[in-house]
Amino acid sequence: MLDAVIECILDQGYYEASSNAIARHAGVTWGTIQHQFGSREALLLAVVQDRWRRLALHLGTVEVSGTTLEERLACVMEALDTHYGSPEHLVITQIMLDLGQSPATSASTKQAVLAHADELSLVWRPLFARALGEAACDESLVRFAFMSIRGYLSATTMAGIHVPQPPDRAVRALLLRGIAYAIHEQAARAGIQMGHPT
């Protein structure tokens, strides 16, 4: 049923993905879904929770390797691409924006959406710590690296939603080189040794 929500929103758009449209995509009645989840709001929150759980499990198993910062950041980008490079990410973003901002959303659901945003940093931070090594002690460098990579992947996904395109390896390489250069430069100014992470 959770996959049907994603498929329905991708097929019909967020605001056209009514309770009945979702039920049709799932091949069941809305009553069946309502019996299991209670409401459309609870169903949408379950989708968000399911996808965050999958992301956390995936990122917890990623191996970050490479002798250069650029190589290690490339590993991180590949890992994050499975989530932020997928059209599903756009659906999750729409759900979270709607549930987080709508006056009709219950306080408990809004709180759950905020909790997911907080938990996200706990999921990706260890990944970047392994990539940045000693430089990970500078929180601004970790946030910079994450936001740069996430922004690129999200923007590429949005641009490709209507006209799918293969990943542009040259642009990715330039982005990673730029991120690595900025981190090395800032770490040097702060007196942080940029050796291979342990």
Model confidence pLDDT, tens digit, residues 70-128: 999 999 999 999 999 999 999 999 999 999 899 999 999 999 988 887 788 788 899 99
Angstrom distance (rounded) from CA 18 to CA 152: 31
pLDDT at 195: 55
Both structure tokens of 189: 């100014």
| C-alpha atoms less than 13 angstroms from C-alpha of 39 in its C-beta half-sphere | 8
Model confidence pLDDT, tens digit, residues 136-188: 999 999 999 999 999 999 999 988 877 767 778 999 999 999 999 999 999 99
- Check if the beta carbon of residue 9 is closer than 8 Å to that of residue 21: no
Domain boundary assignment for the chain: 67-189
pLDDT at 196 over 70: no
What is this structure's pTM?
0.86
